[in-house]
Amino acid sequence: MLLKTNRDKKYINLAINLAKDRIGLTGTNPSVGCVIVKNNRIISIGQTGFGGTPHAEVNAINNASEKVKDSTLYVSLEPCSHYGKTKPCTNKIIKSKIKKVVYSVDDIDTRSSGKSYSILKKKKIKCVKNKLNKRGSELYKSYFHLKTRDFPYVTGKIACTKNYLFKNNSKYISNNHSINFSHFLRYINHAILISYKTANTDNPKLNCRLNGLEKYSPIRIIIDKNLKIKENLYLVKSSKKVKTYVFYNKKNYKYNRLKAKGIKLIYCPIDENNNLDLIFIMKKIKSLKINYLLVEGGKFLTKEFLNHRLFNCFYLFKSNKISSFKKKYKILNIIKLIKKNFSKSNKVNTYLENDIILRHYN
């Protein structure tokens, strides 16, 4: 038998795992996980719905396999107590006669922040807060960022060979397992950003090709100062089906043609180096309610983002292949910048055969 406090830890850990599973997929709402336990048995679990509603607690309470009266509810984030798109979860908890609530992290949404503890206490519901707070805070780093900054949460990604080249004899540098993981990143991010150069040379699809998850493919964003994007690309031809933005600075004859094909063109000023102003682009993207942005940049764009310190985390895909291409394709300066930008890293804990993926973060 587990001690009571260890039991609390075990279930709150599970709630955090459930929340982690859906990060990026709950719109502007944070992803929350919830576990309901009665007589030491799990009687329900819940996650925030895709797009942000219903809230995790509501899903868990409604889906319980037996009456939730006298149960304990574990939740990764402080339950909300405000009227927003949905009614307060604290009301639902009180009505359901749940007898104890354990949560990990205080919400920072001012409508609810720090309020649920006393609301529940007043109704004689036992409340334990800040359980596994460190792990919970780690989970909500992106939520806190999104609530306090007017930039999206930006994830970077670049692939290289064992000898740090980003060009190889075959089309793919990484193995199939790594490629699947890159599609997982496309699944959990709301939009994907590339340059017109990558678009024109690779003619990429930028969709998520994991079985069953295709419908979660990201919005596409292309940065293209002088509208040099080719009109016959897959991205252009499919832009009526999947939202596609192009940030540009100088109009040319293609402007109306791209627009007619379904592309949304956004004017962007240039910065002191005569490049499109990335700060402007980040703010615009956030204002479009795109919260999680994946940048699958080439060498130039990745460097630009690193120089502006715009990445919140960065994945370095390192394959086991040795490339015989010229030295100019080495990405050693990018590796240096990654180390400057981030203080921590860990290996992605997924089966990758001989490839390695390092996640860099702060």
CB of 127 vs ligand AOF, minimal distance in Å: 14
**Is 57 among the residues known to form the active site?**
yes
Identify any residues that bridge with 265 across adjacent strands, giving them in sequence order: 246
Handedness of CA 261, 262, 266, 272 (dihedral sign): negative
- The tokens describing 305, both together, are 């983002």
Show the beta-strand stretches assigned E in the chain.
33-38, 41-47, 72-77, 100-105, 126-128, 153-160, 191-195, 219-223, 244-248, 264-267, 292-295, 313-318, 344-347, 356-361
Q: Is 120 in the site for ligand AOF (CB under 6 A)?
A: no
Q: Is 112 in the site for ligand AOF (CB under 6 A)?
A: yes
* Span from 2-10, 46-54, 265-273, 322-330 in contact with ligand AOF (CB under 6 A): 46-54
Count CB atoms within 10 A of the CB of residue 27. 17
Mask 63-82, x = binds ligand AOF (CB under 6 A)? Answer: --------------x-xx--
Q: Is 55 in the site for ligand AOF (CB under 6 A)?
A: yes
**C-alpha span between 118 and 124 (Å, rounded):** 10
* Span from 54-62, 191-199, 227-235, 236-244 in contact with ligand AOF (CB under 6 A): 54-62
CB of 19 vs ligand AOF, minimal distance in Å: 8
CB of 283 vs ligand AOF, minimal distance in Å: 20
CB of 58 vs ligand AOF, minimal distance in Å: 8
Q: Is 56 in the site for ligand AOF (CB under 6 A)?
A: yes
Count CB atoms within 10 A of the CB of residue 23. 18
Length in residues, the chain = 362
Show the beta-strand stretches assigned E in 219-295.
219-223, 244-248, 264-267, 292-295
Among residues 84, 204, 262, 298, the one that binds ligand AOF under rule CB under 6 A: 84
CB of 359 vs ligand AOF, minimal distance in Å: 24
Residues near Zn ion (CB under 5 A) are 55, 80, 89
- Find, among 176, 276, 186, the residue nearest to 228 by Cα: 276
* Span from 83-91, 176-184, 212-220, 251-259 in contact with ligand AOF (CB under 6 A): 83-91
Residues 14-33 that bind ligand AOF (CB under 6 A): 29-30, 32
Q: Is 115 in the site for ligand AOF (CB under 6 A)?
A: no
Single-letter residue type at 282? M
Q: Is 104 in the site for ligand AOF (CB under 6 A)?
A: no
85 binds, among Zn ion, ligand AOF, none (CB under 5 to 8 A by kind): ligand AOF
Size of the site for ligand AOF (CB under 6 A): 19
**C-alpha span between 158 and 314 (Å, rounded):** 8
Helix residue ranges per DSSP H, 189-296: 196-202, 234-237, 254-260, 278-287
User: Of 57 and 296, which CB lies nearer to ligand AOF in the complex structure?
Assistant: 57
174 binds, among Zn ion, ligand AOF, none (CB under 5 to 8 A by kind): none
For residue 344, what are the contacts with CB-CB under 8 A and spacing of at least 6? 360, 361, 362
Residues that bind ligand AOF (CB under 6 A): 29-30, 32, 48, 52-53, 55-57, 77, 79-80, 84-86, 89, 107, 109, 112
Residues annotated as part of the active site: 57
